[in-house]
Structure 1
Amino acid sequence: MASFSGYLPYAFALIIAIPFLVLFRQFVFTYIKLKEQEIKLLTVKSNTGNKAQSYERMTLFMERIKPSNLIQRFDKDLAVHEFIFLTEKTINEEFDYNSSQQLYISKNSWKNIVDSKNAVIDLLHKTYREINGNATLDEFKTVFIINFINGEDYINTTIEDLKREILIIA
């Protein structure tokens, strides 16, 4: 009997400590579970935000490569071939800058963006061939705009597709 009474204070401390340890364990597991849920929610919000931002950036890119906006860039004293070179360089640089956005945009929309970019560049060169290099910059710009207006409006079609997709995501 004497040997049991020596362990009595330890048994009493253990009986008191066990409920606290169980509650503490539940608290820690609940806290960890809530933090995991919070991280998941933040990740989902972040991805949605990245997607929305990607669609915005690519819509802005499409607006910037519209011929009506392109002809307003650069000095009016440039030769036609200089204007074409600088315009093509600017389009490609801006496209390269935004190329990481393809991670968040559908394959179809990305293909439309690439096709639109290439069509604008092709239109620049087609217009130059059409005028045989014998025109002032203002005349070139006028023919360039007319050729764009008379052709398919692939830029607005791409922008409308981007708008439809972002509405589906949001």
Structure 2
Amino acid sequence: MIDSPYLPYAFVLLIAVPFLFLFRHFVFNFISLKNQELKMQAIKGSSEQRIHAYERLTLYLERLKPANLVTKFDPNLAVHEFLFLTEKTINEEFEYNASQQLYLSKISWSNVVTSKNNVIHLLHKTYDSISNDATLQEFKTVFLMNYVNGEDYISQTLDDLRKENLIIN
């Protein structure tokens, strides 16, 4: 047998090299899998945020429907007080949900804004069309009739949001 002082070192090196190679391979695979996991979590988080945005805006649009607006507030308010409080509530809730536009298409967000503006416009148009001595109940009735006789832009916006949500998810 070869009697060399380097033989034990060569033997250790021969044993260690495959282990070092396998360890290096394991570390790179582990890092790669962790990166994929982080990417998947980011995608999942974005998807959850998008779903949450659709839910919040759907709820906003449901609250924006005139049938739901007329049930708010004290029935003993004057018409101009009801108009002021309703418009204030619509705008405050809109501002609260404005950040959700990040998760919608530009068209869908534009439809939400248009729906809000149309309801406010309809409120003012109805207020301008009634007599000064009209009661709140009369105002609400005329407001609802104007909405029913016009285009149902809120339901159309809701349908568009549902379709877009199905396409994305």
* TM-score of the pair, normalised by structure 2: 0.94
Q: What residue in structure 2 maps to residue 66 of structure 1?
A: 65
- After superposing on structure 2, the runs of 4+ consecutive aligned residues of structure 1 that deviate more than 6 Å are none
Q: What residue in structure 2 maps to residue 32 of structure 1?
A: 31
Q: Is 2:40 the counterpart of 1:41? A: yes
Give unmatched runs, 5+ long, in structure 1: none
Rounded to whole Å, the distance in 2 between the matches of 1:5 and 1:137 is 107
Q: Matched residue of 1:139: which SS?
A: helix
Q: Matched residue of 1:39: which SS?
A: helix
The Cα shift of 1:67 comes to: 0.4
- Between stretches 101-110 and 51-60, larger displacement belongs to 51-60
- For the 8 Å contact 1:80–1:140, the answer to whether it is kept is yes
**Residue deviations 1:57-111, cap 9 Å, x none?**
1111111000000000111111111111111111111111111110110100100
Q: Matched residue of 2:4: which SS?
A: helix
The two structures, once aligned, show a CA RMSD in angstroms of 1.3
The Cα shift of 1:10 comes to: 2.5
Q: What residue in structure 2 maps to residue 140 of structure 1?
A: 139
Letter in 1 for 2:119: V
* TM-score of the pair, normalised by structure 1: 0.93
Letter in 2 for 1:9: P
Q: Is 2:134 the counterpart of 1:163? A: no
Give unmatched runs, 5+ long, in structure 2: none
Q: What residue in structure 1 maps to residue 91 of structure 2?
A: 92
> How many residue pairs are counted as aligned between the two chains?
167
Q: What residue in structure 2 maps to residue 104 of structure 1?
A: 103
- For the 8 Å contact 1:80–1:133, the answer to whether it is kept is no
Letter in 2 for 1:112: N
Rounded to whole Å, the distance in 2 between the matches of 1:68 and 1:55 is 21
Q: Matched residue of 1:48: which SS?
A: helix
